[in-house]
Amino acid sequence: MKTDISKLTEPEVAAELQLLAIEIAAHDTRYYQEDAPTVTDAEYDALRRRNQVLETAFPHLVLEDSPSKWVGAAPAAGFGKIEHAVPMLSLGNAFDEDDIREFFARIRRFLNLAEDDQVTLVGEPKIDGLSISLRYEEGKFVQAATRGDGRVGENVTTNARTIEEIPDRLSSDFPAVLEIRGEIYMSHVDFAALNETRKASEAQVFANPRNAAAGSLRQLDPSITAQRPLRFFGYSWGEISEPPADNQWDFLQRLKSWGFPINPETRRCDTPEDIMALHAGIGAKRALLGYDIDGVVYKVDRLDWQNRLGFISRAPRWAIAHKFPAEKALTVLKEIDIQVGRTGALTPVARLEPVTVGGVVVSNATLHNEDYIIERDIHIGDTVTIQRAGDVIPQVLDVIADKRPEDARPYKIPDHCPECDSLAVREVGEAVRRCTAGLICPAQRLERLKHFVSRQALDIDGLGGKHIEAFENDGLIDGPGDIFRLRDHAGVLRGREGWGDKSVDNLLDAIEERRSIGLDRLIYALGIRQVGETTARLLARTYGSYDAWRRAMEQVSLERNNNAEERKNPDLIGDAYAELCNIDTIGMTVADELAGFFNADNVENRRMLDDLGAELNVEDMAPPETTDSTLTGKTVVFTGTLETMTRSEAKVKAESLGAKVSGSVSKKTDYVIVGADAGSKAKKAADFGITVLSEENWQDMIGGAT
């Protein structure tokens, strides 16, 4: 079992969140991009759920390269890319009745609803297929894109046209611009027939219907896709030129009228009891549906409430996926290896006797850290229960003690890095040991290079982790800046096995395209601990340009170094440090990581930044879309209890109008909005001469902020 959260220290939680982010990212790539998952849905969901529980208990430790901050994987090479006008997000997960009741409660809290206000949801089976967005203009089908990483997907328009259930033209009464979102899937009968045909022709068979559907849609030859029995269910919309309906249910009826199939198991539910009954009913007939599902999705029916609830970085607040139980299996733990990550963390990995769980062969499982091994008394040679809860590395649940062989061996995590033999230290309060060598350690240097070109960072077409490893081993690259000097080695590249002139030219052209990179992507690409995609965007938005951000971070480091460690008040450390901590969701933990990265003693980091500065054109962060809003660029702080909306809703509204929401008052704050029982923040605002607004004044302001 996983360690009880109440027994974890903050450093232990931070370490576990980092491990979860790495594992989930790897499996998302295998699932979304390679169509070849190595773990079950149950295992994947267990890791995401653990991540969610930790983040809920320790919101100030959320990593931003956490799974809660991104979705899917970058589009693969071979197809053109399409940027989604409206991001294709994922869903939060529920696993039991308590989660469902909490979902209802969150909706009520956010919307400030009374207990007797009815909250109606629409529930439908969660199809285990490939998400797609279909664009219609004036009723004509013009474009299809896969989800990709949620922001950019693959252009599969030609292939999608071959699917019979996707209409080429819509009937009357359609919006001028309409993006239909849904799922491409393959039925059990068609899947079996396809594999029989492939067996007869001695072709490799597909592992499951989801892989078959994804592989069929992503054929470079559309004639192959046309031969595959792909089907479609519609369930949502993206960009649309007019409101689709007043509620989710009526929108689905419009989908039917336009000729799109919707799932016949879809129902309206008014209470948690209705939801549980629907989940149980669909679960009972799961094997008889004729296609794969892995749960039931619930969406708030009223569209005006959906608009108010809005989104978090990865998922809508108004929808949730109620997953089916995880699948388990017994196997033997044959060995434990150590992997060294980009932050120096030593992660023990279980090597298992291969076992099939939910149709997927599992041979590896993370063991997180040495406490995880000690608490479960895990020995090499033990028979263990593993659980596959999604598309991520499985987790070892427990040891079957009475099956322990006499030659089973206890395991002790090494106190030196297995890659460079430097001392590996477990700091007080932390759950992981870390190699102390920094970028001198070849494993850390290599992992940072892989992170630098990952999907949410530089995302260079044709340059993946395996290529980085090969180029680094051969001495072609040593640091990130060397990637942009690979053209100097074009002759060497052309002589490598598997690299023709065309593939080398494509790679070099893709690298050139990334010489201009957004500030937020560069910050994320640097691989600074605790700085993931969302935090990178916050930093880019706050400081605007690369030069301004770097100057500010160097000042933050200087102020931190010049002040005693025991000081816990950011204002006492320095103005730059306080400004950084005042960014909403960025606290002293993240600020200290940034200060450490920019420490003058970290010569390697400074050299890397100088080198990149000479190779890259770092684009300033674009201003918010609401540039005509009177709140654009303003910093606001909420304090006290609001009556007309919840604090969360107020924050979402302010950010939608271009404002920056801070957690504390500083000299750079523009407005402090005070509710009932406002405390010290209101007094501090008065002392600084900052404009203080009542809730009524705030409502008047945002009502006119257009």
The residues annotated as belonging to the active site are 126
DSSP string for 465-483: HHHHHHHHHTTS-SSHHHH
* Cβ atoms of 80 and 159 closer than 8 Å: no
DSSP string for 18-32: HHHHHHHHHHHIIII
* Cβ atoms of 480 and 525 closer than 8 Å: yes
* Cβ atoms of 638 and 651 closer than 8 Å: yes
* Cβ atoms of 94 and 105 closer than 8 Å: no
Q: How far apart are CA 267 and CA 557, in angstroms?
A: 56
Element (H, E) at 591: helix 588-597
And the tokens for 202? Answer: 């001695």
CA nearest to 121, candidates 322, 315, 283, 325: 322
Please give the backbone phi and psi of residue 23, each rounded to the nearest 5 degrees, phi first: -65, -45
| β-bridge partners, 617 | 516
| β-bridge partners, 364 | 351
Q: Which amino acid is at 307?
A: N
And the tokens for 360? Answer: 């997927």
Q: How far apart are CA 481 and CA 608, in angstroms?
A: 7
Token look-up 């000097």 returns 485
Q: How far apart are CA 636 and CA 673, in angstroms?
A: 7
DSSP SS3 for 58:
coil
| β-bridge partners, 661 | 636
CA nearest to 431, candidates 382, 366, 379: 366
DSSP string for 33-56: ISS--SS-HHHHHHHHHHHHHHHH
